[in-house]
């Protein structure tokens, strides 16, 4: 491949539509805008969602729900996942490398779901009251 042989993809380039250039073009006189009305006028157009003065759909429907922006920075790991990991000492880096939490995670909490058989030492990771009791019962600790 040479610089002088590079071409755009097929169909990427096409001639600009020239409107208002006579009867033969098929786009003369009204230039494809039809007769009269707001859409035919210069500068006459409405904003997105405008329904001619009728209450727009996005205002007729009720507002509901909320999605926290900080949700992507929080993560939770179950006792079952922790047991499957099989590491004696677990910190944030170990969880990220194992793929149990996302790379953006800043706050990780262990939740009581499943069983823990191995003793695990947690550093820099939170745990719910039930999970903490289960970890300590298995001979581990939460720091």
Split into its structural domains, the chain has a count of 1
Q: Structure pTM?
A: 0.54
pLDDT tens digits, one per residue of 105-120: 999 999 999 999 989 9
pLDDT tens digits, one per residue of 39-94: 899 998 888 999 989 999 999 999 999 999 999 999 999 999 999 988 889 999 99
**Could you list the residue range(s) of the whole structural domain that residue 81 is in?**
70-142
Tokens of 24: 């033969």
Query: Given strand 74-78, what is the order of strands in its sheet?
Result: 74-78, 107-111, 126-127
pLDDT tens digits, one per residue of 27-54: 999 999 999 998 899 998 888 999 989 9
> How far are the Cα atoms of 77, 100, 101, 106 from residue 71, in angstroms, in the given order?
14, 16, 13, 10
pLDDT category at 143 given cuts 50, 70, 90 is confident
Whether the predicted pLDDT of 8 surpasses 90: yes
3-state helix, strand, coil in the chain (%, to 5): 30, 15, 55
Is there a domain that residue 106 lies in? yes
* Domain CATH number, residue 93: 3.100.10.10
pLDDT of residue 42: 93
Is there a domain that residue 20 lies in? no
């Amino acid at each position: 491949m040479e610089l002088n042989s590079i071409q755009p993809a097929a169909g990427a380039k096409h001639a600009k539509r020239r409107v208002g250039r006579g009867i033969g073009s098929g786009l003369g006189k009204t230039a494809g805008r039809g007769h009269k009305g707001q859409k035919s006028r210069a500068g006459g157009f409405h904003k997105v969602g405008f329904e001619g003065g009728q209450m727009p759909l996005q205002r007729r429907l009720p507002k509901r729900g909320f999605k926290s922006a900080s949700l992507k920075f929080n993560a939770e790991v179950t006792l079952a996942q922790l047991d499957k990991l099989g590491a004696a000492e677990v910190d944030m880096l170990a969880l990220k490398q194992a793929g149990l939490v996302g790379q953006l995670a800043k706050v990780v909490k262990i939740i009581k779901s499943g069983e823990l058989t191995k003793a695990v030492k947690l550093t820099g990771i939170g745990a719910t009251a039930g999970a903490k009791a289960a970890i300590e019962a298995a001979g581990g600790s939460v720091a």
